[in-house]
Chains A and B, each alone.
Chain A
Amino acid sequence: MKSVKFIACSAFIYALGARAQTPAAPTPEDLQKQIQALQQQMQQMMQGYQSQIKTLQEQIDALKAAQSPAAAPAPEEAAQGSVPPIPSAPPSPALQNPAISVLPDFTYSSGNDPYWKSQNAFQVREVELALSAAIDPYATANVYLSLENGHLNAEEAYAMFPGLPGGFSMKVGKFYADFGKQNAMHTHMWFQADQPLALRTMLGDEGLNDVGVSVNHLLPTPWMSDLTVEVTGGRNADVFGGARSDLAYNVAWRNFWDLTDNANLEAQLSLAGGKNATGHGTGLGNLSVTYRYKPLSSGTRASFLWRTEVIRENYRGMDGINRSTGAFSYVDWQFTRGWFAGLRADYAEHPSDPRMHDKGGALTLTFFPSEFQKFRLQYERIDYAGLGPRNALVFEYGFAIGPHGAHPF
């Protein structure tokens, strides 16, 4: 290394010497001219650099301004002293992990009700794992995995495109159909410990939940109104299940009115159709009405909700059409902070034989110590197909850890 440097230095000195010796000795005037020329060159270079720096600085400022719409306010007081910098590590890639929440639901039940008797007395009914994150600037992903009886299912897994051209929004993946309000509610959001009888009997334990595409648009009405159109694969053991190419369709027309600052009314009509396992058609209709009262200034301590849904099913089988109707109506009344009392009435005709029907009801008392856990006591009395009332006493406990945010209203 040293020898390389030595050779380079020698060559440089030799070159200088050679250059100095070549021309005749310059006159003082020549030297003066050369110095002036050099000075001019230097000045031009300096001016060039200065203007380049100025342009670059302007570009930096413009970029900074574009990043934060207005410059952050200057710190109020200039620092008077200085401290050594604290050690730092590279930012963790975990910052870009999806938001992860876990929501287990436990029940204890006793009594002679066949629905509850078919389940363990104490059970972890479900552990929901909710993951969400922006996929990129165009879409957000929501994935809800559900661990039930040792099986892990994707309860929902979809991408949401919130701002498509023309004001459309779109959902792609597996999701609950927008068929009434209750169908799309996850277990931990239910107002009672179980689904209303009409949903269980007519749509099956999983409800209308399938893989497909859902497109939504607001309607230009004076009140809030929107239309959702869904096309799915038509897989549902109870109502749909035709050939591979037989898709199912659902159209939901939702309307919402603020009656006062404290009260609102929501009405939704949903119509769904597809081919069933017999290769014939199934038509479904749902009319859902919800009234909510929640005083603005004391809404955390008092509220009231009343919801009624009527479901109609036309199932064409090998031997004609079965027309069945189901309905439920419930109220949930918050009487003090964290405490809710509820009542539900149920009615459901059997889609396989509408002459038979189940009816009953449930009483609930629910306590939320915080938004993140709940204790519920439920008494349920149902008469299945006129065979006499069956009773169940259910205790439910659930909690949520993680940032699991708000649900759709």
Chain B
Amino acid sequence: MVAQILFLVLTLAAIALFTVNLRKIIRNIRLGKPADRQDQPQKRLMTMLRVAFGQSKMVVRPIPAFLHFFVYIGFVIINIEVLEIMIDGLFGTHRIFNGLGGLYNFLIGSFEILAFTVWVSCAIFLIRRNILKLKRFSGVEMKSWPKSDANYILITEILLMSAFLLMNAADAKLQLLGASHYVNAGAFPVSQYLINILPSSESALVIVERSCWWFHIIGILAFLNYLPYSKHFHILFAFPNTYFSNLEPKGEFTNMASVTNEVKAMLDPSFVPAETEPGKFGAKDVTDLSWVNLMNAYTCTECGRCTSVCPANITGKLLSPRKIMMDTRDRITEVGQNIDKHGAEHQDGKSLLDDYISREEIWACTSCNACVEACPVNIDPLQIIMELRRFAVMEESQAPGSINAMMGNIENNQAPWKYSPADRFNWAQES
């Protein structure tokens, strides 16, 4: 009874804490500017099913795709087991679903195989990061916390799977001993090999089984609450992020409606623009970005596929699209914390541009869309870079000198080079 109450309290506390943090993140995302991503619901749904559920963009790199698939499918399916653990924990039952008979054995057997493949995949991931030191996982933005974060996640998953398998092994041994409360249920294709390393006394086995059971469920609850602080948040946000992703051709950049009004008024003095709220052009800080950009930042799992295909980064420039996303998340988190501590009106005098992302980074981008194409969850770092450029150019007139010269030429000669408009048709005369 005490165990059941403890279980209930722990579960409720974990869910409550997670809800509080999740709501804060949703509030932070809503600090972004509006963006219409409600159109074409069917196409959006299909995109989500294909890219997030179907992992279609992972297959470009087969080895991590294969390993990630095991971890993903393991996560989704082993969670059915969590449902049983929840019911058992609340009602003091043991393996409540064993009434399913053959199906139950099949399920438990499958979970064990999946748990094993998750275990192995995570171990290989750890080796790739820490021993093989793959280039994709390094970079200026991958020091300290982001580096540890990745390792914590992998180690936690290995521990959770170990506890699950050890729990089953102890359970299986108790079933063999005919211990009361331990009904004959389940198939143990993996944990049967662990039986021999366990003690043989019934009381010791019960301690092992119960410890692993508690470790497993407390681990899951703790992991749930780790998500909001971690890159691992993608396991939840990948779904809305792909649903609300851009459906238009990647080459198309949004036309700023506020500018359209001004340009129309300049070309036609009789034009009366519709009322729009005065705001700044482009983005200096995260709150000038759209909510989609901010959701992108929370979704990023820092895999570095974007950076590894970025022509600027490949050739040694400072720009890293992954860093753009990580900076955006760090800054919106900071803005959120400021609101929690000092109220909504507080200004800390910092901004995304300059305090997090430098001018050198934004001016290194070729707008080639390789980063957008590479992202397995449809994140768009390019849009953030363009918004920062818009601010630098339109609010501050702070573009590199040669860019200013190019724009001056367009204004004066209608071409980015210094040629006379009268000579535009000369190509037809020569041959």
A and B from one assembly?
no
Q: Which residues of A contact B (CB under 8 A)?
A: none
Q: Which residues of B contact A (CB under 8 A)?
A: none
